[in-house]
Amino acid sequence: MRALSVFSAKGDEFVPPSSVDFVLPPIFENIPFITKPILLVLLSVLLVSLFFSLSARKAAVVPSKFQFAGELVYGFVRKDLGQEILGHDFKRFMPYLFSLFTFILTNNIFGIVPFLQFPSFSRISFAYVLGIITFGVFHYVGIRKQGIKKYVKDIMFMPGVPKPVYILLTPIEIATFLVVRPLTLSLRLFANMFAGHLLLMIFILGGEHLLQGAIAMKAVGFFAFGMGIALTFFEFLVQCLQAYIFTLLTALYIAGGLADEH
C-alpha cells in the first residue's frame, strides 16, 4: 500500500496501451499517407525480392549457403502448400502462394525485429487487401475451371434438399462464399497481429514503468519483463503460424475451386 502511494505521488500514472497506439502519425508533416506501416510494407517488398533474386542468381548444382536458405523456404512452400494440396496442377499458383507466404512472414516478423517493431498487418486495411486478392483469385480460378453457370449453381444450391428449404439455405451459402470467407481470412491475420503487439506492449511498457517504482515494484517489474521476453518468442511462433495458415487456406480455397465436386 505504501509503495502504491509513493507511486501515485510521483504523478505519472501508467497509461495502458490501447488501440490508439496503433495509429501512428505521418513521418513527414505535409505528406499524410507516408506512415510507418507503409514504409515497412515497402521495405518488406524490397527485402523479399532482393533476398530471393540474389539467392537464385548464381544457382549452382552444389548450392552456396545463401542459395540453400532460399531454396529451403521455396521447397517448403512448394511441397507443403503447393504439391500436397493443389495436386498435379500446382505450378500455376506457386508464384502467388510463394510471394504471399514470404510477404506475410516478413511483415509479421517486423513485429519483433528491434527498432522496427511494428507488425504491418495490425493495421486492418493491409489484411483486407490481401483477403480481397485471394478472394479474386479463388473465384476466378473456379469460374475459369467450371464455367460461371455451373460454379454459381454449385455454390447456391446444395443437392439433395427439398425445394422450399433453399430459401433458408441459399442466402447462407452466398454469404459464406462472398463475405465470410475473405473476411475471416483477413480478420484472423489482423486480430492475431493486433493482439500480439498489444500483449507485448503491455508487458514491456508496464514492466518498464514498474521498474521505476519502489523496491517491491521492481521485483514485479522484473517478472513482467521476463514475461515480455518469453512472449516475444511466443509471438515469433504465432507470426510464422499465421503466415502459414493464411497461405494454407488460400491454397485450400483454390483447390476447392479446382475440384469438380462441391
Partner 1 sequence: MSKRSDESAIWTILGYLLSGLLFWGGVGYFADRFFNTSYLTLVGILMGMGGGLYLVWLRFGR
Verify binding: residue 255, partner 1, rule CB under 8 A: yes
Residue 51 or residue 128: which is nearer to partner 1 going by CB? 128
CB of 183 vs partner 1, minimal distance in Å: 9
Sign, Cα dihedral of 21, 27, 28, 30: negative
Verify binding: residue 180, partner 1, rule CB under 8 A: yes
Phi and psi for 18 in degrees, rounded to 5?
A: -140, -170
Residue 179's identity, in one-letter code, is V
Residues in region 61-100 near partner 1 by CB under 8 A:
84-85, 87
Identify whether the C-beta of residue 121 lies closer than 8 Å to the C-beta of residue 108.
yes
Residue 181 or residue 209: which is nearer to partner 1 going by CB? 181
Verify binding: residue 248, partner 1, rule CB under 8 A: yes
Residues in region 183-212 near partner 1 by CB under 8 A:
184
Helix (H, G, I), strand (E, B) or coil at 161: coil
Q: Which cell numbers hold the place of 22?
A: 496503433
Identify whether the C-beta of residue 6 lies closer than 8 Å to the C-beta of residue 213.
yes
Residue 124 or residue 158: which is nearer to partner 1 going by CB? 158
Using CB under 8 A, which of the segments 56-64, 144-152, 156-164, 193-201 binds partner 1? 156-164
The Cα–Cα gap between 251 and 262 comes to: 16
The backbone region for 87, taken as left when phi is positive above 0, alpha when psi lies in -120 to 50, beta otherwise, is: left
Q: Which residue has the cell 527485402?
A: 47
Identify whether the C-beta of residue 100 lies closer than 8 Å to the C-beta of residue 246.
yes
Among 139, 181, 197, 209, which residue interacts with partner 1 (rule: CB under 8 A)? 181
Verify binding: residue 179, partner 1, rule CB under 8 A: yes
Count of residues of this chain found to bind partner 1 when the rule CB under 8 A is applied: 26
Verify binding: residue 238, partner 1, rule CB under 8 A: no
Which residues contact partner 1 (rule: CB under 8 A)? 84-85, 87, 158, 160-161, 165, 168-169, 171-173, 175-176, 179-181, 184, 248-249, 252-253, 255-256, 259, 262
